[in-house]
Amino acid sequence: MKQQTRKTASLLLALLLLLSFTGCSSVRQQSYDEGYDAGYGDGYDAADRETHQEAYDAGYRQGLQEGSSGDNSSNSSGTSGSSGSTGPYDPSGFVEVTDLIPNAILELRYYSTYNFIGDRIKGYEEPVILLSREAAEALKKVSDDLLQQGYRLKIFDGYRPQTAVNHFKTWSKDLSDIRMKPYFYPDLDKSVLFVRGFIASRSGHSRGSTVDLTLFDMNTGKEVDMGAPFDFFGEISHARRTEGLTEAQIENRRILREAMEKHGFEVLSTEWWHFTLKNEPYPSTYFDFPVRSLN
């Protein structure tokens, strides 16, 4: 009789654990599905959905491994909201850049249609720039230094959701769509953009501590001349290039680069505008919550 009672108790305990896990999983899945359908449901094919599902599953496993509970599973990001268990749908470690740098100028290329694709990029829902708090605080120090030299920051992009990166990748496969070629890749065939690394399956921007920016001269009231525009695909955009550039253009790049490096950022060798915080807080997490106001 005792043996039968113990067996029954064990079965009940196992059933309760299973129901708890299933409930947690279903809440996470419901949150993910609702967010996906609301924000990304227009125009994605089955392959894209599978990509998102793989990312979701990886984030869910990470949340379980790092101690997320059933209570936390109901938040909209689908992962624990604490800084110790940030998952790919959790914006709690991020801030709006203009909250810390109100005088920054924003030119939100991916929220607009003036970019290398020619359409607003998926995942950009509102005209804001987001960064990890650590990156934004470091960028505030950069801004303070440059203000003393007569410059404001002009920011093109910050955090970029994986959804947007997937949009880039899908576009790169459509070789017939070359609307923006004259402006962003006039000397390259579109077929080489992915092969040569101009477009990739993942971006450091999705980790939340990378920013694309330039300088705005407060004396002239104009963006400074860097010798190549933002997002121009070609060697002229390489960060330390001198060939084909004027002394003033080389100097402008140096001013930006040294100001960023002083406060812990590192430039991407192939893009003068692209900087990543060396000690980024989420070096292994590729986030995929949409870009929208956190306030």
Q: Which residues are the active-site residues?
A: 271
Integer angstrom CA distances of residue 238 from 252, 259, 270, 285: 14, 18, 4, 27
What pairs with residue 106 in β-bridges? 155
Q: How far apart are the first and last CA of the chain?
A: 61
Which of 79, 44, 77, 75 has the alpha carbon at shortest distance from 60?
79
Distance CA 44, CA 61 (A): 24
Which of 89, 51, 247, 66 has the alpha carbon at shortest distance from 168?
51
Tokens of 292: 């929208």
What pairs with residue 94 in β-bridges? 132
Tokens of 287: 């986030």
Positive or negative: CA dihedral 264, 270, 271, 272: positive
Residues 86 and 284: beta-carbon distance below 8 Å = no
User: What's the burial of 193, exposed, middle or buried (CB within 10 Å: 0-12/13-18/19+)?
Assistant: buried
Positive or negative: CA dihedral 180, 186, 189, 192: negative
